[in-house]
Amino acid sequence: MKRLAVYCGSATPADPRYVESARHVGRTFAGKGIGLVYGGGRLGLMGAVADACLEAGGEVIGVIPSALVDAEVAHKGCTELHVVETMHQRKQAFTDLSDGFVTIPGGTGTMDELWEAMSWAQLGYHHKPVGLLNVAGFYDGLLQFWAKMGETGFVRLQHRGILIDSDDLDDLLAKMAAYEPHSTIFAMKATEL
């Protein structure tokens, strides 16, 4: 994995564990020679992951909509900063530029990015690993919900392994590196659906 997209919040939570975890991701990526692809912002967890990666000598590629550049939240210190027009173009660029996805804590936009990466993997638009770093139990409820979707039959058995999770970054990256793509919906026959 040469580059990974990181989905995370632009907010700065009061609990310092979230910012420190973002900084840990940035430092770890740089240390392992993994380029960071992210939302291009300088605020919150976005800024923390980018700054830490840059400080440790890593590559940082930001992808940001022009409206956010105009709002002066763009990180001008990125190795590369791609300015796009829409959020859809931003998410497509994340997919095009990265070898997989790591989600750390965030809000609505982060969830949009995570679920789209999972949906696209399930369908067969990409065959890349989708990781979830469960910092301080932040995603416990989401993981329970994902399991519930599988138990009730809304996520097929062969697709339950799309979401790779861990509360430890090194463990998560190892699991992602070992990821074997599953049978996608586009490759399945109607009788298998």
* Rounded Cα distance, 46 and 12, in Å: 9
How far is C-alpha 153 from the chain's CA centre?
A: 25
- Pairing relationship of beta strands 130-133 and 163-166 according to DSSP bridges: parallel
pLDDT score of 187: 78
Whether 135 shows a pLDDT value over 90: the answer reads yes
Amino acid at 193: L
Q: At what angle are helices 169-177 and 16-32 packed, to 10 degrees?
A: 50
Q: What is the pLDDT of residues 170-188, one digit of tens each?
A: 999 999 999 998 888 777 6
* Rounded Cα distance, 3 and 20, in Å: 21
Q: How far apart are the first and last CA of the chain?
A: 31
Task: Specify the DSSP class assigned to residue 157.
Answer: G
Question: Of 64, 33, 34, 32, which is closest to residue 47 (Cα–Cα)?
Answer: 64
* Rounded Cα distance, 53 and 24, in Å: 9
Question: Of 129, 74, 117, 69, which is closest to residue 92 (Cα–Cα)?
Answer: 117
Judge contact between 124 and 117, C-beta under 8 A. Answer: no
Considering the chain, what percentage of its residues have pLDDT values greater than 70? 97
Cα 35–Cα 36–Cα 37 angle in degrees, nearest 5: 120
User: Hunting for tokens 């960071």 — which residue is that?
Assistant: 36
Give the predicted TM-score (pTM) of the model: 0.94
Question: Of 141, 186, 133, which is closest to residue 163 (Cα–Cα)?
Answer: 133
Domains delineated in the chain: 3-192 (3.40.50.450)
Ranges of H-type helices in 34-185: 44-55, 66-70, 87-97, 108-123, 140-151, 169-177
Q: What is the pLDDT of residues 60-109, one digit of tens each?
A: 999 999 999 988 899 999 999 999 999 999 999 999 999 999 999 999 99
* Rounded Cα distance, 183 and 193, in Å: 11
Considering the chain, what percentage of its residues have pLDDT values greater than 90? 90
